[in-house]
Structure formats: C-alpha cells, structure tokens
Amino acid sequence: MTARLDKRTALVTGATSNIGRAIALALGAEGAHVVVSGRDSGRGERVVAEIRAAGGRADFVAADLDGSAAASRELAERSTGMLGGRIDILVNNAGIYPPSTTTTADEATFDQVYGVNVKAPFFLTAAVAPAMVESGGGVIVNLGSWITRLGVASNALYSSTKGAVETLTRAWAAEFGPSGVRVNAVSPGVVHEPSDEPLPGDVMMKGTPAGTHGRPEDIARAVVYLASDDSSFVQGIVLDVDGGRTSTAVIAA
C-alpha cells in the first residue's frame, strides 16, 4: 500500500458499486480513512471489508441522498464523527440514470434525478466545505460525464444534471479555492467492468484512440490524482477520462 493520502480522511458517496466502489478502494489503498456511503448496507460493508483486507481503514455510513438539505447534512455530520472530526476529501459520486427522453420523463422523474444528481452534492458540499476551510483546507472531486459535451438524443435529463455538476465545479473552485479547498471534477467516458457481450454504450467508443470502454479503476486513478498533492496546482478543471471520446474526431467504422 502506498501513502499519497496517508493520515487523510475521505467521504465517497455512491461508493457501494461500480465507479464509486473503485474510488473508495483506490483512496483506501493510498492510505486514506474512507467512509463508504450508499443505500445498500450489504454492498457497502463488502467494500469496507475489501479495503480493510488490503490493510486500509474504512467504515460504512448508510445514506439515501434524495436531494434534501437534511439528508446531505446528516451524512456530513455522521461521516465527520466517524472520521475523527474532519473530512479532508469529499467525492461527490452518487447519481442515478433512469432511461428517459424529454417527452417521456415525467415531473416526478425530473425532480428525482435533479435531486440526487445536483441538489444532493450541492447541499453536501455546502455542509462539508466550510469545515474544510476552518481546518485549513481540503479537496472536493465531483463526477461529471462525457455526455455533457456530446448531444445524445436519449439522455437530455441526465446529461443536463452532469452539466450542472461540471458548472458547479468551476463555481466552487472560485468560491472555496482562495480559502484552501481545491475543487475539480472527473468526466468519465463509457466505463464498465469487462463483459462477454458488448454493452449499448460500447458503440460510442468505435474510432476513438482507446477503441474500447474504460474500467472503473481508470476513473479511480484520476480521482486519486486530484485528491492528492500531485495536483496541488490544479483548480477548477474537468478532467476527461474517456479514451479520447470528446477530444478527437471519431471515425465511423
């Protein structure tokens, strides 16, 4: 186990599976004491066990981040207590992605997606950032998405929430950066565990430099970089980790 994040504490939302799980494992492997947060306690405890088995420190805090300020404040308070009184690193990863189009998404779905994907990280950051400032600094890493910069007909609702998160990243960097809190974002491309069959998003990677989908660990390594002192002069960026999908011409194949 390396120690780029030794003696630091971290809260990762949506950390019980997929990208969130990979981020929690990676932060733990770098020495951080990680609060694994999510709705499924069984999966959360398994992630905690993985981190501990590798020699790291981790605890699980159940949370249903529905977008209410109260839910975000409660998670911040419980995690702060679990982590010995301070959160050094906040990773706003939790999000939902219900399939819908503009004409099929009803108001309840709209409110739910914006609640989880935008309001929850907004109020969680509002709860955590002032304490980071008071303690001398900290790091916030948000999860955006490649889909915010390439229009896809079936994803208007989800992509608009991630666009909001990436805008908040820049605004928060301006708001909190002068007080010692660095805020950046990672924008994942098509990412999933290896599969025997191609998944729907895989076609979007044809003709890109990578030529294939990424894995959750690819995103986790980028988050570790932004959370560590290696990126001490990096403020307000959205780091694309998408195999070149949004930065290069895609050749139809």
DSSP 8-state assignment for residue 212: S
Kindly state the average pLDDT of the residues 75-84: 97
Kindly state the average pLDDT of the residues 232-240: 97
Rounded distance between C-alpha atoms, residue 41 and residue 25, angstroms: 16
Residue 120, domain member (yes or no)? yes
Cα dist. 242→188, 204, 210, 247 in Å?
Answer: 5, 11, 8, 9
Residue 252, domain member (yes or no)? no
Residue 248, domain member (yes or no)? no
Per-residue confidence (pLDDT) for residue 109, from 0 to 100: 96
Per-residue confidence (pLDDT) for residue 138, from 0 to 100: 98
pLDDT at residue 252 greater than cutoff 70: no
What's the mean per-residue pLDDT of the chain? 93
> Does residue 152 or residue 142 have the better pLDDT?
142
- State the pLDDT confidence band at 1, using cuts at 50, 70 and 90: low
| pLDDT 10s digits, 84-140 | 999 999 999 999 998 889 999 999 999 999 999 999 999 999 999 999 999 999 999
Q: Are 13 and 94 in contact (CB under 8 A)?
A: yes
Residue 253, domain member (yes or no)? no
97 is catalytic: no
Cα dist. 130→61, 176, 211 in Å?
Answer: 21, 9, 42
Rounded distance between C-alpha atoms, residue 125 and residue 89, angstroms: 11
Residue 249, domain member (yes or no)? no
Q: Are 245 and 218 in contact (CB under 8 A)?
A: no
Rounded distance between C-alpha atoms, residue 42 and residue 21, angstroms: 13
Per-residue confidence (pLDDT) for residue 116, from 0 to 100: 98
Q: Structural domain tally of the chain?
A: 1
Residue ranges making up the domain that contains 225 = 9-241
| pLDDT 10s digits, 164-220 | 999 999 999 999 999 999 999 999 988 888 776 777 777 778 878 777 788 999 999
pTM: 0.95
Report, in angstroms and rounded to the nearest whole number, the Rg of the chain calculated over CA atoms.
17
Per-residue confidence (pLDDT) for residue 253, from 0 to 100: 52
Q: What is the CATH number of the domain that holds 34?
A: 3.40.50.720
Backbone angles phi, psi at 5, to 5 degrees: -120, 25
